[in-house]
Amino acid sequence: MGDLSMSRGPGDPADARTPRRSFLARILALGSTLLLIAAACGGGASQAPATEPAASEPAASAAPTEAPSLGEVTVGSNYSDQVPKDAFAAMLNYCATQTTATPKINTVEHGAFQDSINSYLQGTPDDVFTWFAGYRMRFFAGQGLATPISDVWAKVGSNYSDAFKQASTGDDGEQYFIPMYNYPWVVIYRKSLFADKGYTIPTTWAEFKTLATKMQADGLIPLAFADKDGWPAMGTFDILNMRQNGYQFHVDLMAGKEKWTDSRVKDVFNLWKELLPYTQPNALGRTWQEGAQSMINKEAGMYFLGTFAGEQATDPAIRDDLDFFPFPVLGNQWDSENAIDAPIDGLMISKSPKNLDGAKALLECVATGPAQLEFLKASPNNVAAAKDADTSGYTPFQQKMAEIIGKSGAIAQFLDRDTRPDFAGPNGMQGFLQTFLNDPNLNLDTYLGTIQSFYDSLPPQ
C-alpha cells in the first residue's frame, strides 16, 4: 500500500541539491548492506527449522576426535506443546546420563515441522529427528534422506516385537526408525455415564447400533465426531475398512495395490452411512478438541479417536472416569484379526549426521524401557514400545491401551502414515472424505472413481 500511494509523485524538493546526492549514496550503501544481510539470512533460513544451527558446528568437528565423550547430538523435535515437550526433554535428559552423548533439542512447532520436513531434511538437519513409522518413514528412507540404523537394531531388536520392527523397516529391508511409543484408536467413553444409564460395552456391530439408538432415546449424541482438520475422519475409514475387509486389503489399498473403485471399498462407505445417523452433526466445522469436550461433558456418549483425546480432560477426576473399548467387530472372517490403528512415534537419523556415533548411542538408549517411561511419565496417553518397559507403573488407562494393542492381530499406522503423502494430505483424502461427509448420499461409484483417478494422476514413486 505504501509504495502505491507514494508512486503518485515523489514531490522532490529541487532546492536541497548537494545534501540530496550524498543522501542518495547513503541510501544506496544502506540498501546494498541490507541486501547482503538478506542474502545471508536467506541462506541461513533454508538450512533448517533448527533454531540454533551455529551452536552445533563446533560439536561436529570435536566429536570424532574425542574418543571418550561422544559429544553433542542435535535433535530436531516437533514436540512443541508443553506436555510432550517436557516429556521429550525428560527422556533425553535421562539418556544424557546413560550415554556419553549430549543431546541438544531444537524444537519446532509441530505443524511447521511437518510442513517443512522436505526442505529440512535436504538442508542441514539435526542429527536425530522426531518422526512417524510406516509409509511416512519409508518415503524419506527411500529418498535417501535418512541413515539406515540396522546396526542399532541388531543390538536393540530383541527389545521390540516383530510388528515394531516391520514398522521401522524401509523398502530396502534396512531399519531406519526407533519406536518410542504408540497409542490405539478406540471408542472412548465416560464410565460414570455408562454406569448411570446402565449401558454395556458393545462388542458387535448390532450391539453397537442398539446402544447408539438407546443413547439417542436418552437425549444423547451417541458418537461425537469432528473433522474440521481433515484427518480425524481417516481413523473412522481405517477401522471400518479393516473390520470389513481385513488388514491386508487395507494396507494394499493404501499402497495402491488395490483400487478405490473396488466394490469392497464401496461396502466400507455404505457401512459408514449406517453409522452417520448416530454421529454428531456439523462435524466439518468442529475440531477434535471440541468433539472430545462434548464426550467429556456427557453431551455425547462415545468418541472414536486416538487415546490422545484424554488430554482434553484436565480435571483428574474426569480423567480417571475415562475408559475405552475397541471398535466393535462386524461378525465376519476378520473378527479374530482385530486390527486397529496404533500409530507409532519415534526417532530417525538424518542422511549425513555430524555426529553419527553419538546419534546411534542416543537411539540405543531411547530404545530402552526406562528411557521411554521417562517420556510416558509426563505424557501418559501413550504406551511404551520397548518390551522391557516396566508396565507396573502404568495408569489403568495405559494398562488397557497396552492390553488392546497386545490383543490386536494386526496394527496399522493411520491413513496418512500408511499411504503416500501427496495422496493423504489436504489435496487428496482429507478433501475426499470431507466431500463424503458433506453429502453421504452422493453417487459412490462416481465418487470412488474420482479418488482412483486422482491417485492414478500422481507421479510414480
Partner 1 sequence: MTDPANRGLGEPAAPSGRRRFAILPGPARRRFSLLSRRDKLVLGLMVGIPTFIHVFFIWLPTIASGVLSFTSWNGIGLDRIKFIGLKNYADLFGGIYPPFWPAILHNVLWLVVFLLIATPLGMFLAVLLDKEIRGTRLYQSAIYLPVVLSLAIVGFIWQLIYSPDQGFINNLLGTAGTPQAIDWFGNRDLNLWAILVAASWRHVGYIMVLYLAGLKSVDPSLREAAAIDGASERQTFFRVVFPVLRPINIVVLVITVIESLRAFDLVFITNRGLNGLELLSVLVTNNILGEASRVGFGSAIAMVLLVVSVGPIILYLTRSLREEAA
Q: CA 299 to CA 90: how far, in whole Å?
A: 37
Cα–chain-centroid distance for residue 190? 25
State which of residues 63, 163, 221, 253 lies at the interface with partner 1 (CB under 8 A). Answer: 221
State which of residues 16, 23, 25, 109 lies at the interface with partner 1 (CB under 8 A). Answer: 25
In the complex, minimum distance from the CB of residue 122 to partner 1, in angstroms, rounded to a whole number: 6
Q: Where are the beta strands (DSSP E) in 334-440?
A: 340-341, 344-349, 383-384, 411-412
Neighbour count for residue 173 (Cβ, 10 Å) = 8
Q: Which is nearer to partner 1, 132 or 249 (CB)?
A: 132
| Selection from 186, 163, 202 nearest residue 308 by Cα | 186
How many chain residues interact with partner 1 (CB under 8 A)?
Answer: 62
454 binds partner 1 (CB under 8 A): yes
294 binds partner 1 (CB under 8 A): yes
17 binds partner 1 (CB under 8 A): yes
Q: CA 82 to CA 391: how far, in whole Å?
A: 24
Q: Which stretch binds partner 1 (CB under 8 A): 101-109, 162-170, 171-179, 279-287?
A: 279-287
Which of positions 61-80 make contact with partner 1 (CB under 8 A)? Answer: none
299 binds partner 1 (CB under 8 A): yes
Q: Which stretch binds partner 1 (CB under 8 A): 182-190, 205-213, 395-403, 453-461?
A: 453-461
Neighbour count for residue 174 (Cβ, 10 Å) = 16
449 binds partner 1 (CB under 8 A): no
Q: Which stretch binds partner 1 (CB under 8 A): 208-216, 281-289, 338-346, 362-370?
A: 281-289
Q: Which is nearer to partner 1, 4 or 54 (CB)?
A: 4
Distance (Å) of CA 137 to CA 21, 35, 241, 259, 415: 59, 39, 23, 23, 13
Q: 3-class SS at 164?
A: helix
| Selection from 373, 395, 385, 377 nearest residue 95 by Cα | 373
In the complex, minimum distance from the CB of residue 293 to partner 1, in angstroms, rounded to a whole number: 8
Q: Which is nearer to partner 1, 140 or 324 (CB)?
A: 140
State which of residues 104, 107, 145, 367 lies at the interface with partner 1 (CB under 8 A). Answer: 145
State which of residues 86, 258, 262, 290 lies at the interface with partner 1 (CB under 8 A). Answer: 290
286 binds partner 1 (CB under 8 A): yes
Q: Are 201 and 191 in contact (CB under 8 A)?
A: no
In the complex, minimum distance from the CB of residue 413 to partner 1, in angstroms, rounded to a whole number: 14
Label the pairing between strands 322-325 and 383-384. unpaired
Q: Are 107 and 311 in contact (CB under 8 A)?
A: no
216 binds partner 1 (CB under 8 A): no
Radius of gyration over every alpha carbon of the chain, rounded to an integer in angstroms: 26
352 binds partner 1 (CB under 8 A): no
Label the pairing between strands 340-341 and 221-224. unpaired
- Angle among Cα 223, 251, 258 to the nearest 5 degrees reads 110
Q: Which is nearer to partner 1, 7 or 65 (CB)?
A: 7
Neighbour count for residue 302 (Cβ, 10 Å) = 28
333 binds partner 1 (CB under 8 A): no
In the complex, minimum distance from the CB of residue 136 to partner 1, in angstroms, rounded to a whole number: 7
State which of residues 16, 31, 352, 377 lies at the interface with partner 1 (CB under 8 A). Answer: 31
Instruction: Please list the residues that pair with 204 across neighbouring strands.
Output: 329
Q: Which stretch binds partner 1 (CB under 8 A): 9-17, 72-80, 161-169, 188-196?
A: 9-17
State which of residues 155, 431, 442, 445 lies at the interface with partner 1 (CB under 8 A). Answer: 431
Q: CA 354 to CA 59: how far, in whole Å?
A: 8
109 binds partner 1 (CB under 8 A): no
Burial pattern 424-450, b for ≥16 Cβ within 10 A else e, equals beeebbbebbbebbeeeeeebeebbee
Cell digits of residue 283: 462435524
State which of residues 82, 282, 333, 441 lies at the interface with partner 1 (CB under 8 A). Answer: 282
State which of residues 35, 55, 83, 195 lies at the interface with partner 1 (CB under 8 A). Answer: 35
Contact footprint for partner 1 (CB under 8 A): 1, 4-5, 7-12, 14-15, 17, 21, 24-25, 28, 31-32, 35, 114-119, 122, 136, 143, 145, 221, 228-230, 281-286, 290, 293-294, 299, 421-422, 425-428, 430-432, 434-435, 438, 450, 453-454, 457-459, 461
